[in-house]
Amino acid sequence: MSIIDLSEAGRQPLFNEDRSLALVANGEIYGHCELRKDLEAKGHRFASGSDSECLLHLYEEYGEKMVERLNGMFAFAIVEVQTGRLFLARDRLGQKPLFYAVKGDRIAFASGPRALATLPWVDRTLDPQAIYDYLEMQYVPGPRTIYCGVRKLLPGHSALWQGQELTLRSYWDPGAARAPFQGSFADGKAALRETMGRAVERRMVADVPLGMFLSGGVDSSVICALGQEASVRPVQTFSLGFPERKYDEREYAAQVAQHLGTDHHFLEVSPDDFSRLPTICADFEEPFADASMLPTWLLSQFTRQHVTVALSGDAADELFAGYYRYAVMKMAQNFNLVPGSLRGPLTAAGLAILPPKREERTFFGRLRRIVEIAGPTDAARYLQLISRFRDAQKGAILGANFADAGLRPTGEWLGSSWNGADGDGLAAMALDMHTYLPNDILVKVDRASMAHGLEVRSPFLDPEVVELALSMPFDWKLNGRTRKHILVESFRDKLPAAIFARGKMGFGVPVARWFRGAWEKPLRDHLLGGQLIREGWLDEAGVQALIDQHVGMKADTSYSLFALLMLELWLAGSEAV
């Protein structure tokens, strides 16, 4: 997909001056004009205006350490033509995907696992551990993929292939120690405004039409405000509306668009069209079950009808404590004052009193989540909070294929990145930067947008913004019960007051209700008559019970059911490839 230099000269693969190096790349390099000037001053000659060509000359000049100089979203490969030495790299936080397979003296890489699975030497056996973790997390955690013979290159990593050996290197880590921000809260606000302004301007450089997602929430509204300031004409903004007011943000998006004077585009959609699911599932190339993939896919489809590039507000929640769970984790530290021997019985008593959770986004549903995490500590508490498919549930539905798989608990994978020394709230944010952001949020946005040929850029993921945010004190982000405190205060003067007074809504859809209505029959048909049961991955009686519990209003098992449904649809689609 070409965004900078659409001419024949920018067509890949690209070569350096003597054609000793060849490059294929996916993504965008921001600030490439400045990089080009510096490299030209060092004697490098460019053959195109493509931002990707900078990568070749940076590799010539700095070798593997070139990645430390990049600001962008990227996955690329550079091969030394004479020796076959191959260098792979992925951006800091994983905005662009890179999958690879290795066997003996062979290596292959691609932007998705589907292409690699077609190679006859790649083991495309389904990985039981990947499925087990997927059910809990709604995604397959890297570096695993759904296939035993395919791996993901992790965010912030590079890889070197030479002499039939692949060496992985981490060049950036969000959890690494950083010098704290030096200055007052007012200084922090000024720094954030300046840094965010530069990040937005960098991402507005394109040789194709550009627009912006606008939900009406704080994050996307800040991006649109800065984008409009940097533009000489009204920027194009895009939002969706849903028939159910509980999930609809059109009113807020319209307020922001009118306030900023953008050229706003709006479309009401009904994301409950079951017939779309197989197509959306195939576009993601491996099992994925964050239900917000549905509206994200629809928004990307709508936006692409008008522009080729869109800016978004992704990653603000992870950087500035926007999720409700950070406040809950901070509050839950008070449970540690209760002796461990009492926490379990008190938790059980509290859950017995509360009514069962029948649907997400209800008062009792949230209250149950808080009570449930009173017993565990540290990473186990976090897992209890975010888990969408608990161990007891999984044990009841797993089939014979898992019997001798030697599975390790999903919590062990999470615990390896947990650092609770600075408090559970901050530890949860750091963990999300390692796990939820690159494996869920960025996968969702990239796959849904690229399915329609739309490139989505997030200014919050600019390295300058990320480093600034990571250096700031936690109480600047979560101040009492106020989330994203410094972000809100930094841009309060640029947006309508109502945007800051509203609660966080998110991009959710009422899957629980659909499974008790129009989606019940296709759910039963696909799961109870599908390949997962026939091939021994799932137990029929366990799946039947899970469906009946939900439809009978005895519990909300919609997350679990959606994960199983998407796995079944993916498996059916992958067999057809």
CA angle, 174 then 177 then 178, to 5°? 90
- Over range 464-486, report the average pLDDT: 95
Q: What is the DSSP code (8-state) at residue 357?
A: P
How does the average pLDDT of the chain come out, rounded? Answer: 90
- Token pair belonging to 139: 């995604």
Band of pLDDT at residue 411, cut at 50, 70 and 90: confident
Is 160 a domain residue? Answer: yes
The CATH number for 190's domain is 3.40.50.620
Segment among 414-418, 474-478, 495-499 with least mean pLDDT = 414-418
Answer yes or no: do 166 and 227 share one domain: no
* Bridge partners of residue 2, in order along the sequence: none
Domain boundary among 143, 170, 197: 170
Same domain assignment for residues 128 and 199? no
Return the higher-pLDDT residue of 33 and 380.
33
Q: ∠ at Cα 312 (452, 314), nearest 5°?
A: 110
Domain count, the chain: 3
H or E element in which residue 161 lies = strand 157-162
Domain match, 160 and 196 both? no
Q: Are residues 137 and 109 in the same domain?
A: yes
CA-based nearest residue to 491, from 196, 264, 232, 199: 196
33: containing domain:
8-170
Residues 153, 199 within the same domain: no
pLDDT value for 278:
96
Answer yes or no: do 194 and 220 share one domain: yes
Neighbouring CB atoms inside 10 A of 452's CB total: 17
Tell me: do 62 and 158 sit in the same domain: yes
According to the model, what pLDDT value does residue 393 have? 86
pLDDT of residue 424: 75
In a domain? residue 329: no
Does residue 301 sit within a domain?
A: yes
Largest CA distance in the chain: 74
**Domain presence at residue 375:** no
Cα 104 to Cα 121: distance, rounded to the nearest angstrom: 10
- Asked whether residue 13 falls in the same domain as residue 114, the answer is yes
Task: Report the pLDDT value the prediction gives residue 510, as an integer from 0 to 100.
Answer: 87
Whether residue 206 is found in the same domain as residue 101: no
431-to-92, 137, 426 alpha-carbon distances in Å: 15, 13, 9
- 200, pLDDT greater than 80: yes
pLDDT at 299: 96
Band of the pLDDT at 343, cuts 50, 70, 90? Answer: low
Residue 31 lies in a domain: yes
Q: Where is the domain boundary, 170, 197, 228?
A: 170
Instruction: Calculate Rg over the CA atoms of the chain.
Output: 24
Mean pLDDT value of segment 426-433:
90
- Paired strand residues for 398: 538
Winning range, highest mean pLDDT, from 40-54, 86-100, 203-217, 368-382: 86-100
* 416: in domain: no
For the chain, give the percent of residues with pLDDT over 70.
88
Q: Are 549 and 555 in contact (CB under 8 A)?
A: yes
The Cα 302–Cα 286 span in angstroms is 24
89 in any annotated domain: yes
pTM of the model: 0.92
Over residues 215-232, the mean pLDDT reads 96
Q: Which of 447, 475, 501 is the last residue of a domain?
A: 501
Residue reference for tokens 């720094």: 191
- In the block, tokens 């952001």 appear at 437
**CATH number for the domain including 117?**
3.60.20.10
492 and 517 housed in the same domain? no
Whether 367 has a pLDDT exceeding 90, the answer reads no
Higher pLDDT, 182 or 369: 182
- What share of residues in the chain are helix, strand, coil (percent, to 5)? 50, 15, 35
Q: Which of 345, 316, 343 is nearest to 332 (CA)?
A: 343
Q: State residue 354's pLDDT score.
A: 55
Whether residue 467 lies inside any domain: the answer is yes
What is the H or E stretch that residue 165 is in? strand 165-170
The residue-averaged pLDDT of 235-245 equals: 88
Burial of 400 (0-12, 13-18, 19+ CB in 10 A): exposed
Phi and psi at residue 490, to the nearest 5°: -70, -30
For residues 546 and 484, membership in a common domain is answered with no
Higher pLDDT, 117 or 383: 117
43 and 157 housed in the same domain: yes
Give strand pairing partners of 475. Answer: none
Q: Which residues contact 449 (CB under 8 A, 6 or more apart)?
A: 296, 300, 304, 310, 455, 456
The residue written with tokens 């809950």 in the block is 328
Q: Which residues pair with 90 in a beta bridge?
A: 75
In the predicted structure, residue 350 carries a pLDDT above the cut 60: no
